[in-house]
Each structure stands twice: as C-alpha cells, then as structure tokens.
Structure 1
Amino acid sequence: MNKNIVILGTQWGDEGKGKIVDYLTSDSSYVVRYQGGHNAGHTLVVNGKKTILHLIPSGLLHNNVIGVISNGVVVSPLELIKEINMLKKNHICINKRLFISRSSPLVLQYHIEMDIAREKKLGISALGTTGRGIGPAYEDKVARRALRIGDLKNEKNLSMRLEKIVSYYNHQLVSFYKQKPVDYKIVLRDLLPTIDVIYDMIKDTTNILHRAIKDKKKIVFEGAQGSFLDIDHGTYPYVTSSNSTIGGVLTGTGVGPKHLDYILGVTKAYSTRVGYGPFPTELFDNTDKHFSNKGHEFGSTTGRKRRTGWLDAVSLCQSVHINSLSGLCITKLDVLDGLNEIKICVAYRNVHTSEVISFSDIDDWENVTPIYETYPGWNRKTLGIKKLEDLPYEARNYLDRIEEITQIPIDIISTGPDRSDIILVKDNFFI
C-alpha cells in the first residue's frame, strides 16, 4: 500500500486531478496543496452534484481528511473565504480541518490590477494569464517584498508594509501602464475581516506534515496546473509562475523525497490547453467540436474554451521523465466514445527540414507538425464502466499502446465525471 501519494498533471492542466485526489483521499489523513493559487480550478462531481474548488484541497470533501495549504501556494484571503462559505452552505464543515502555512504569500488587489494591466499592454502578444494576480504575487515572493499569511497576525505591521507595497505598484500602474491607482486603505479594509476567519488556521504546516509522517499517516499531495505550465520545465514563456512538476512538492511543503511513496501522473485520453503557447496536436475540425462538447472543455476558473487535440505522447514521455512518475491515470476515456478513429502523436517533425525533433526543440512550434499513429475507435460506451475487462477491445488496445510508449503502467482509468466512475487497475492505493 502506498502511504504518501503525489497527484500531478502531465499535460497543460485541466486533466481531472481534482476527481482523482477526491477519490484517493477517502482513506487518507491529510491532503496537501503545494503550489499555485486560485488560478487553478478543480471540479468534483459527487452523486451528480458539482463542486468547484480553487484553493481548498479537493480531498476535504471527505469528513475524515485534514486539508493543508502549504507554503508553495499563493493565497487570496478573499477568495479563500468565498470557498469556505461555499462549502458551509453545502454542509461541508472545515472547522479544525484546514491549516494554512504562515509562509504562504498573499494575493491582493494590486497584484490583480498589475496582472490585467500587463496583459492589456502586451495586446496580441499577451500570455493568456487568468488575470488573478498569481504572477505578480510570485514575483513579490522572489523579490522578498511579499506579505505572507503570517503577517495577518500583526495588524500594525501589516498596515505599514501594505502602504509601502501599494505605493510601489501604483508608481508602475499610473506612470507606465496608465491605469488607476489602488487605494491601500480599501485593500486593508477588505483584508481585515478575513483575519478573524482564518486566524486559527495559520500554522507551521511543515511541522504538521512531519508529525503526520512520523505517526505513519497517509498523505495525498495535490498539484495544480500541469507539468508543461511549470516555470522551469514548461513551454516558456507560456507557463504559470510556480513549479507544477514534482520539485514543487518538495519546496512547496518542506517534505523531502524519501517520504514520497508513489507519484501518479494524470493525463486526459486526449490533449487540451487553455491560453496561448505551443500545442502541436491542436485540432480545428469536427473532432475539436466533439472533444469540446462531449468533454465540456471550458475552464472552471475562467470559462474560456480549451484548445483540444489528440494525445501527445511525446510530451507525455517527457512528463514521465521529469516527474519520475510511478504510474498513470487516464481520464475522460469516455469522451473518445463514438469516434471512428483515434490518433496518438508519437513524434514531431520540422515542416521545413523534415527533421524529427524532440519536445525541447518546439520553441519554433508553428513550424512543427505531429507524426501520428492511428487506431480504430469504438462504438460501445465506456461511460461509467468500472472493470477493465468490460472495456471495448479497441479501448484496451489504445490504453496498451500508451503503456508501451511511456513504459509505465496505467493504474487508474476514469470513465466519467462522477466520483464512482473509476476503474482501479492497480489496487495498492488503499489500506
């Protein structure tokens, strides 16, 4: 049985990690968010009811689980309070079940204004951020000027530092971006009521996790975004501002690698991407419409339509390597139901030189064309199937080929949006 499990995305996010986290935390003690902010959205469907979370770890829907927002996460107190209140309305009590690292940087209104102003200034060269202020918040962290969750416990010091930081941002917003200034008094006014709500949640979360490890508790680490939005290993500059690959677990929690027992990579049975940047298998035909409509490919955070394409095994293999994946979870297999043929991208070719190139060579991505293998589709529904042997032969053949290419096992298959729509291939996740 795997004690401590990391669940991360292998593509450009939106792989369905939230559902898998929810599923695998049913017998866990802790679930930990280790990077990202409220720019990530995890959609959970339990008994037909949909819940969307952005900051609070997905596994907290189980009453026996303690949630941790660790130091690698940038936290908007206003958005966090919204989520807490939303869960209360749905009769999910998180009292004494959610801890927030005192070292987590804050996301505040001036970060949002700067994010939006930059995108507007870039025009057609914009990066396609969510406009949630995540990038500027991480910049403050690296520049050592960030306000952090722990600062909320000292109102006087908070007020003094906030005024200086807002002045720093207003100089740029007004002088360079020609935008309205931010009023620090309004920021402080909106921030102060949140302190009472989360005051008792602010903890040394690294210490909490090490105590849990010592006590042999099961921990699930929940990633946000996907591997190729990683600031170091992604399709730069069209990336997020944190490490969404395996290294983010270590720096974002203070838990070392020897305490990670299993690393699960979540990938869709096809590919999607939100925003701009390289996407070699992108489609613009009826198959794109099929994926968008049947897969409901619209962002849970922004509502933007996702770009869709065939499964990119080149990038998937890269993700296997950089994350040291133990196994794969294939989600949305049911979205492929009804297609006459299914393709897998197994290599890239430069359209001008005909040279086969690697994933790291796709900077000039507009001149890259995918090389495909084509497989027959299936007419039977896979939606809701719970046993591997009940899948259509063609679907099993498709999954077998993914295992051959990636050289790691597919241990979980998701066949629908609900918590129960799962095929557990490898039964070592539960006590």
Structure 2
Amino acid sequence: MRHTIVVDLGYGDAGKGRVVDALCAESPVAAVVRFNGGAQAAHNVVLPDGRHHTFAQFGAGTFRGVRTHLSRFVVVDPLALAAEAAHLVFLGVRDPFSSLTIEADALLATPWHRAANQARERRRGAGRHGSCGLGVGETVAYGLAHPSEAPRVGDVLDPVRLRSRLAAVRDRLTASVGPLQAPSVDEVAAVFAAFRDAVRIVDGSFLGGLLRSGRCVFEGAQGVLLDEWFGWHPHTTWSTTTFANAETLLAGAPAERLGVVRTYTTRHGAGPHVTADPALDRAVPEPHNDTGPWQGGFRRGHFDAVAHRYAAEVCGGVDALAVTHLDTPERVPTLGICAEYSDLDRIPVGVRGDLAGQERLTTTLAATTARGVYRPSDWAAEIGALLGAPVVLGTDAPTGPPVIRRTLAAAP
C-alpha cells in the first residue's frame, strides 16, 4: 500500500481540490489527511451536477464519502468549520462532522487571532503581506510565543482550562494590538463547547491505525512558493507547505510525492510574480478566485518553469506531477511557457530559517522579468520535461466536464 501526498508547486490555487477529488474517485481511499494550513485554504471542487464547494478544513474527498483527519499541523477554526459543514449539508452531505477526526494537539484559532491579524494587516497599508485575514498566522505566532498556554483542540475537553486560555489570548492580543472586535470569552467558549460535542478528538496514535487501514491521500494547503521558510518573504504563509509535515506524519510509511501545477501560473495577493501578464487576466476567467479584501487581486501569468523548478528542488524532488487546466491553452492562444528569466538562470535555494536571505531574494525577483515565452505543442509532455517528473494525472478546469487523463507524459 502506497499513500499519496498532494502538494501545490506554485502560489496555491493550482487545483489541489480537483486532484484530491479525482484521486478519491478513482480508487478506494481510507481518509484525506490535512497536514498544514487552516481555514484559509480554498480548494474548489465542482461536481458534474453543478454543486460546488470550496474546501477549507474538510478534505476535498468529502463528496466521495471519504473521511477527513486534521493532523496536529493544522490550525483548527471551529467557527469556520461550522460554516463549512453547514454548506456541505446544504449540498447534500449528511452529517459532515461524523466523518471528521481532529488531533488534540492542533492549535485553535479564535476570533481574537482573526481580529488581530486583520488589524496588523490594515496598519501595513500599501505594504500589506497578502494575508487571508483569517488569523491562521496569528494563531501560529501566538503558539510559538506561548507554547504551553496556546489554546489547542484538546482544551475544549476541559472547560476551565479552555476559558483561562481564551481569556489569556484576548488579553495578550488586546495589549499588543489594541481594542479588538470579537465576541466575549463566554460566547466563544459556548461555541467551542458545541464544537467539542460535534467532532471526534483523538490523540497522536490515531493516525497510525488510519494509515494501516487503507490508502490515505495527504492534502496540502497553499503552495510551496508561499512556504514559511522558502517562499518570497514576507509575502508567505505561516506554514510548511512542502512534503515535510506529511512525511513526518507518515513516519516511514511509503508515499508518492505528487506535485500539482496549472498550465498557467497564478498568484493571489502581494509578492513577486515574474510571468504575470495583465492580458491573461482578461483572457482567462476565474469564477472561484477573485480580488479579496485581504489578499488583493488574483494575477495570472505564463507557466513559470523557473519558479516551479525551484519549488520541486525545495521539496527534494517529486515522484510525479498532476497538471490542471489542460483545456486553457486550447482556449487562450497567447498563453505560453517561460523557461528562463532575463537576468537569473536559477532561483537559488536558501537556508531554512534565513528569512533575511529570502527577503533579499524577494527583492531580486520583484525586479526580474520573464524571457523566452513560447508555446509547446504538447503541454503535459513539456511541463514534465521541464520539471523532471512524469505527468500521471491531468484535469481540465474545475467548471468543465470531469475529464481525468491518466499517464499523460512519461518521465523525461
């Protein structure tokens, strides 16, 4: 038995939801395991009958009846989770919480984390980082600053301890940021008590049994080019977006490392996007990604082979690739592939933890332009050759027919 780890090799939004849904549809899957991020994830799945859901904390295999496990690396937001579950029920999913397990050690996001995140981002003005405004990074930062007191999922089982930790979050963040628009501690504790009664909370040993019960798909959030240590700092996420967390959870169990890319490179929010082309913004409709109040605009660009090669290198390589939006080149004749930059042969891989070095790289990339954009005759084969891995799965755009094309291009 071999598990699958799905990681986005771009800036997010490459189509991980579509890919995970396809993997869960083609063969039995015991569970989708989330291994990073939180409520800011936005993995779109559109069913043939038109039903559409943006998966954030529930796994993108939910429509296929596949259970979800939120690992300790996920930031859990009970309020956002309740809203997501309600939408799934509206779409016909019966009792989504019954197929959800959550590790007790996962951090809890609170309304104060969200309010503090938004306040800090507003104060940055034109220098915004591109946050989603949901408090995920704020929750992680608080957990690093106060590791023994940060609210965790398991705390909902102890109302006294939970209330004490919620009050501490409120007080510390208010002292740091100023007055925050958020409910009272009692109101939040009541919502978290309902969360406690709705979900199954498990310890760290649970996942081992899940892995032995059948094939699991590990669903990553965001993209490698947004990685907390290797993305273009400070326009990054507070999350490890490579295969690392999943492989820690797998503890040596075999898994295929599947990298996901679009036929064109997109970026939602601030930060360098070397191949961005405003003409593509007009040519390629994007029904599920639009300008957001916190992230900013959604930018489209030619396939950035340089950046995606960097992502694969940062990850330590990929076993295979999934390419989404394969129908787009047929509809957009101006779309091409960029295999090199004007003044940079290769994006250098820095040292984990050297954020100053990543910020210097961000400055360099902001001044870099694309060169040699060309249009291949076979997009899947060309992308596989450029990234050095076989393309084993491909899909059209999420709003198109559910076309799944297997083994599109052999290894170069």
- Is the shorter-chain TM-score for this pair beyond 0.5, marking a shared fold? yes
1:150 — aligned with what?
A: 154
**What secondary structure sits across from 1:6 in the alignment?**
strand
Cα deviation per residue 1:134-159 (whole Å; 9 max; x = unaligned)? 11100122121310010011111111
1:363 matched to which residue of 2?
A: 363
Query: Could you give the per-residue CA deviations for residues 375-396 of structure 1, whole angstroms, max 9, x where no partner exists?
Result: 26xxxxxxxxxxxxxxxxx3xx
Which stretch of the first structure deviates more once superposed, 155-164 or 406-415? Answer: 155-164
Change (3 A) 1:357 1:406: closer
Instruction: Give yes or no for contact 1:206–1:255 (8 Å, CA) kept in 2.
Output: no
| 2:54 counterpart (52, 55, 58) | 52
CA deviation string 1:167-196 (max 9, x = no partner): 11111222xxxxx2456x714313323423
User: Residue 113 of structure 2 is aligned with which of 111, 115, 131?
Assistant: 111
Whole-Å separation in 2 of the counterparts to 1:310 and 1:99: 39
Which amino acid in 2 is paired with 1:403? G
Which one-letter code corresponds to 1:108 in the other structure?
A: T
TM-score (norm 2): 0.88
Per-residue Cα deviation, 1:189-233 (whole angstroms, up to 9, x for no partner): 133234234436343353222112334x11000011011111011
Q: 2: distance between equivalents of 1:233 and 1:319?
A: 9
- The SS at the match of 1:163 is helix
Which residue in the other structure is 2:9 paired with? 10
Matching residue of 1:311:
303
Of 339-348 and 80-89, deviating more is 339-348
Q: Does 1:424 align with 2:406?
A: yes
SS at match of 1:234: coil
CA distance in 1, matches of 2:4, 2:85: 25
Cα deviation for residue 55 of structure 1 reads: 1.0
**1-structure distance, mates of 2:103, 2:12:** 24
**Post-superposition offset of 1:68:** 0.4
**Compared with structure 1, are the counterparts of its residues 260 and 237 closer, same or farther at alpha carbon in structure 2 (3 Å cutoff)?**
farther
Instruction: Report if the CA contact (8 A) 1:40-1:301 is conserved.
Output: no
How far apart, in 1, do the equivalents of 2:290 and 2:181 lie? 32
Structure 1 residues 19-418: aligned runs within 5 Å: 19-26=18-25, 27-47=28-48, 48-63=50-65, 65-93=66-94, 94-143=96-145, 144=147, 145-174=149-178, 180-181=179-180, 186-199=184-197, 201-204=199-202, 206-215=204-213, 217-251=214-248, 254-256=249-251, 258-284=252-278, 286-291=279-284, 293=285, 297-298=289-290, 305-323=297-315, 324-350=317-343, 356-360=345-349, 361=361, 363-375=363-375, 394=377, 397-417=378-398
Deviation at 1:266, TM superposition (A): 0.8
- Following the alignment from structure 2 to structure 1, what is the Cα–Cα distance between the partners of residues 294 and 404? 27
Cα distance, 1:318 vs. partner? 1.6
Aligned pair count reads 390
TM-score (norm 1): 0.84
Contact 1:36 1:224 (8 Å CA) reproduced: yes
Relative to structure 1, the CA distance from residue 299 to residue 34 in structure 2 (aligned partners, 3 Å threshold; closer, same or farther) is farther
Q: Whose Rg is larger? A: 1
Per-residue CA distance 1:321-362 (angstroms, 9 max, x = gap) = 222211111111212223334421112233xxxx64535555
| Unaligned residue ranges in structure 1 (runs of 5+) | 175-179, 377-393
Gap change, CA 1:307 and 1:269, over 3 Å in 2: same
Cα RMSD (Å) of the superposition?
A: 2.4
Q: Which amino acid aligns with 1:413?
A: G
Counterpart residue type for residue 160 of structure 1: S
Structure 2: how far apart are the matches of 1:198 and 1:32? 20
- Is the CA contact 1:81–1:194 (under 8 Å) kept in the aligned structure 2? no
Tell me the amino acid that sits aligned with residue 71 of structure 2.
Answer: S
Q: Deviations over 1:47-99 (max 9, x none)?
A: 22111221111112222x22101111111111111112222232212353110
Q: Structure 1, residues 27-64: CA drift from partner, whole Å, max 9, x if none?
A: 1011111110111111111122111221111112222x
- Are the structure 2 counterparts of residues 362 and 149 from structure 1 closer, same or farther at C-alpha, using a change threshold of 3 Å? closer
Name the stretch that deviates more: 262-271 or 407-416.
407-416
Q: Give ranges in structure 2 of 5+ residues lacking alignment.
A: 350-360
Q: How far 1:271 sits from its partner (Å)?
A: 0.5
% identity of equivalent residues: 24
- Tell me the distance in 1 between the aligned counterparts of 2:222 and 2:47: 22
CA contact (8 A) 2:130 2:294 kept: no
Partner SS for 2:32: strand
Instruction: Give the deviation of 1:297 after TM superposition.
Output: 4.3
- SS of the residue aligned with 2:112? helix
SS at structure 2 position matched to 1:82 = helix
